[in-house]
Amino acid sequence: MIGLSGLMSKRRRGGEPITWTSRSTAINFWTTGDYVSCAGYDGTYYVIGCGGEARIATATDPTSTWTENASNPFGGNDLRVLAYNGTYWCVVGYSPDCNTATDPTGTWTNQDDIFASGNIYAMDYDGTYICVASSDGDLKYVVDPTGEWSTPTTGSIGSHQINFLAYGNGYWLSGNNYWLQLTNSNIYTATTNPTGVWTVRTHPFADYTNIRDAAYGNGYWVMVANQGQLATATDPTGTWTLRTSSFDAGDQINKVAYGNGAWACTGTGGKIATATDPTGTWTQRTNPESTHGWCMKYLNGYWIWGGEDAKLCTAVNGF
């Protein structure tokens, strides 16, 4: 018991995730061309999704062996994002399909299309509603993902690809791509839940920016984009401030996450930057993998990074 208690306290200690360890050999059933696109945790299993060949893998310890799930209703469509609402796992991706499971190691069921067309790159869960957004800018929400999806009062937020949906501190936030350099990207917010009105807000990014991701934690929102851009706000409906990200101007920052007092983001070339105060210094960390980073999550004391060519890394805070 002393050894286990010491391990748990060590794994959950504060500070930024400094040392990242490759776990790629634990998922060697995924290969070149596949990428780890999303990750989640349900209290028992860690789950990762594969973009490329559309597969699911699970583990009870993310630093150990991952097992691919034999149930695969996903076809050849990339999986982009996972959500777990306490009963159902829901996964969506490069199609308007919704796929669900109660046990991620068991049978996944295709629930048919959420939208008539387009792809789904964005989804989040606020404790009641799962909300998704399509590449055509359309929105849907549901309480039970095996049932019928509904359209909010604001049925569409522009006509651009929605790259992310994020919920935190009573706000929903979305961000999208610019379109053929004819119109700029936008961010939208909805308050309390995603069922009502979504309102366009002002962001600080340069023209022709693809806004990639956002997260909330410890009083701050952090939003990331291409051109190495990163911005923070305490209220997503108010003023956003550009910060120095430590990424190069030509880099794309794809994902950002918060966990246990620390922030981490990733993108071009597998670069990882961390901070405790997102308005201050972001520090580049050494990633043993150098492929493009597409996943960054803090789950039950572990940081999980995923990238192209089936690369996976983990870290813990304070090391």
For range 19-26, the mean pLDDT: 96
CATH for 312: 2.130.10.10
Long-range contact pairs involving 110-114 (C-beta distance under 8 Å, separation at least 24):
110/73, 110/74, 111/145, 111/146, 114/140, 114/149
Specify the pLDDT at position 8.
42
Specify the pLDDT at position 12.
55
- Quick check: 161 and 152 in contact, CB under 8 A? no
Measured distance CA(44)–CA(111) in Å, rounded: 24
Specify the pLDDT at position 77.
80
In a domain? residue 151: no
For range 224-249, the mean pLDDT: 98
In a domain? residue 283: yes
Specify the pLDDT at position 97.
87
Number of domains in the chain: 1
- Quick check: 97 and 106 in contact, CB under 8 A? no
Tokens of 53: 């060949």
How many residues does this entry show for the chain?
Answer: 319
Specify the pLDDT at position 180.
53
Specify the pLDDT at position 319.
76
- Quick check: 187 and 201 in contact, CB under 8 A? yes
Full domain range(s) for residue 314: 209-319
Contacts of 247 (CB under 8 A, 6+ apart): 228, 230, 253, 267, 268, 271, 273
Q: Which residue has the tokens 């991701």?
A: 213
Res 131 pLDDT > 90: yes
Specify the pLDDT at position 141.
98
In a domain? residue 272: yes
Q: What is the pLDDT of residues 26-80, one digit of tens each?
A: 999 999 999 999 999 999 999 999 998 899 999 999 999 999 998 888 887 899 9
Measured distance CA(214)–CA(174) in Å, rounded: 8
Specify the pLDDT at position 75.
81
In a domain? residue 265: yes
In a domain? residue 135: no
Measured distance CA(88)–CA(47) in Å, rounded: 13
DSSP 252: B
In a domain? residue 240: yes
Res 3 pLDDT > 60: no
In a domain? residue 243: yes
Measured distance CA(54)–CA(104) in Å, rounded: 14
- Return the SS3 of 25: helix
Tokens of 193: 């839940």
What type of residue sits at position 187? I
For range 223-238, the mean pLDDT: 98
What pTM was computed for the model?
0.94
Backbone angles phi, psi at 62, to 5 degrees: -70, -10
Tokens of 89: 């796992």
Tokens of 76: 């050849």
Q: Which residue has the tokens 């980073």?
A: 293
State whether the Cα torsion 255-160-100-36 is positive or negative: negative
Res 199 pLDDT > 70: yes
- Burial classification of residue 136, based on how many CB atoms lie within 10 Å of its CB (0-12 exposed, 13-18 middle, 19 or more buried): middle
In a domain? residue 225: yes
Nearest one of 130, 144, 143, 137 to 92, comparing CA atoms = 130
- Burial classification of residue 191, based on how many CB atoms lie within 10 Å of its CB (0-12 exposed, 13-18 middle, 19 or more buried): middle
Lowest mean pLDDT among 2-6, 14-18, 305-309: 2-6
Res 160 pLDDT > 50: yes
Nearest one of 193, 197, 194, 225 to 212, comparing CA atoms = 225
